[in-house]
Amino acid sequence: MKTTTTSLLLFVLVLLFWSPLSASVGSVEDFLQCLPLQFHNSILKVTYTPKNSSFLTVLQSSIQNLRFASPSTPKPLAIVTPVEESQIQATVYCAKQHGLQIRVRSGGHDFEGLSYVSKVPFVILDLVNLRSISVDVENKTAWVQTGATIGELYYGIAQKSKTLGFPAGSCPSVGVGGHFSGGGYGPLLRKYGFAADNIVDALIMDDSGNIRDRTSMGEDLFWAIRGGGGASFGIVLAWKIKLVDVPPTVTVFTVYRTLEQNATKLVHKWQYVAHKFPDELFIEIELVANSSENGKRTVRASFSCLFLGRADKLIKMMQEKFPELGVTKQDCSEMNWIESALYFAAYGGYPDGPLEVLLNRTYTDRDHFKAKSDYVQKPISVKGLEGIWERFYEEDVNTSVVMFLVPYGGKMDRISEKAIPFPHRAGNIYKILYFVGWDEEGRAASERHVNWIRRLYSYMTPFVSKSPRAAYINYRDLDIGMNSEGNTSYARASVWGLKYFKGNFKRLVQVKTKVDPSNFFRNEQSIPPITS
């Protein structure tokens, strides 16, 4: 497509004032002219640049962390929202030809914004329009495109069956692309493991535009994209998943206990029993700083349960294994599995309502936030827990201070740590997600809250896994390895690589070197190839 002199001048001026990136205007112009040559002019209808009035709307449509929505955040030079695979091929070809990096976005929940932020010239490939779901009830499988959300997947399954489910997360607006490729877990993990444990095929595009399934990509690459971060190896277009059986009736409850209601001893006891419960029982804890009835600050522990069975059986189990919690039948609600997915979504901040709430792609309670993760292998003492509460009370922390304790055990103990890249299996009794959110604008507010969570993370060092101190790739944390020394990218990457993947990091590097030796698909914490 030829561009007039006037429009080119306008485009140049917009780029000069818009983008803080160092790309030459020529490379951007060449990229945009390349797209219709590789596809046809219709691709420009799904391509947005800063000169489009809807550019910011499209960019911000799935940004979940407002830390990366400020005017100073580096912006893409273009956003492509393909409606078919050949448009993705054209985008990959043209970006590679003209020296632009690609960031692939499916839901925008990545904690450090790596799917839509880069410090080098880049374009966003937003797969929001590629989200078809095809459920095969007879064979208990489904194909789901990368741009679909967890909520859309759950809803699609429920339209075909009330006794089939899938062990993914509880936040409906998370895109399956990033969720699955980093592992992905939810309330069914103790019964069925991670989402990535239940993937049986996939379609991936390489940097030459070739599309391969499990057979043609080979078992090494298929292994790597199920928990190793798919964005390191190519563009995963779709996943074939194995659906799991769920009973017609499940039971949920959420009970709240403050420190004045013995929360410390209950959390302490939970550490000894939650990972030993039968596989069908999942009880996680949410710890928040809160105000008690007398107006004083306290810590509230929310014990939230999914049980794959009826309430009578659950109450009997709780009386035998965790009587201290004092759960009664009045605390319990029976429902089907898809209703429990909506229940956990509401528990996580989504509005209550009909099942169609699961189709909402935008998490309405967006905030600035920073998060970190840990794995616990031995119960933390009462004194250690009390030290956490003290840090929750620090004056410079607002009310959006949360720790999630997610129990392991069950199926997680029986899957080899080498089965997929996600290695944190037997020996871990629970995982911790630390989260601090704030609504204040500005760098000072950001630094204050980020520094607080770093201090909490430092305090937790004696209580969590060691050599390495493990972390979860889907809770990506750019603090890891930030101050590490190393003469090569591989040496730096091995710092966070060992935390995320343990011994599986070496195999991931080998796969990367084989399938993407030029390192076209990369971000700040992508798997590096071995360079000669």
pLDDT tens string 413-447: 999 999 999 999 999 999 999 999 998 888 888 99
DSSP 87: H
The helix/strand/coil state of 355 is: helix
Predicted pLDDT at 4: 36
Distance of alpha carbon 282 from the chain centroid: 20
Q: Alpha helices, DSSP H only, in 197-262? A: 214-217, 219-225
Model confidence at 489, pLDDT cuts 50, 70, 90, reads: confident
Predicted pLDDT at 279: 98
pLDDT in tens, 42-67: 999 999 999 999 999 999 998 989 99
DSSP 324: G
Predicted pLDDT at 243: 98
Q: How many angstroms separate the CA atoms of 168 and 226, rounded?
A: 13
**At 173, which amino acid appears?**
S
pTM given for the model = 0.92
pLDDT in tens, 301-324: 999 999 999 999 999 999 999 999
DSSP 400: -
| Mean pLDDT, all residues of the chain | 91
Q: How many angstroms separate the CA atoms of 124 and 56, rounded?
A: 13
Q: Alpha helices, DSSP H only, in 125-213? A: 150-160, 176-181, 189-192
- Alpha carbon dihedral 310, 312, 315, 319, in 10-degree steps, equals -140
Distances (CA, A) of 408 to 298, 327, 527: 27, 21, 27
Phi, psi of 238, rounded to the nearest 5 degrees:
-160, 155
Q: How many angstroms separate the CA atoms of 161 and 186, rounded?
A: 20
Q: Which residues are catalytic?
A: 475
pLDDT in tens, 168-200: 999 999 999 999 999 999 999 999 999 999 999
Query: Is there a contact between 251 and 315 (Cβ–Cβ < 8 Å)?
Result: no
Place of tokens 């889907």: 474
Domains along the sequence of the chain with CATH? 5-126 (3.30.43.10), 133-245 (3.30.465.10), 250-334+367-469 (3.40.462.20)
Predicted pLDDT at 400: 82
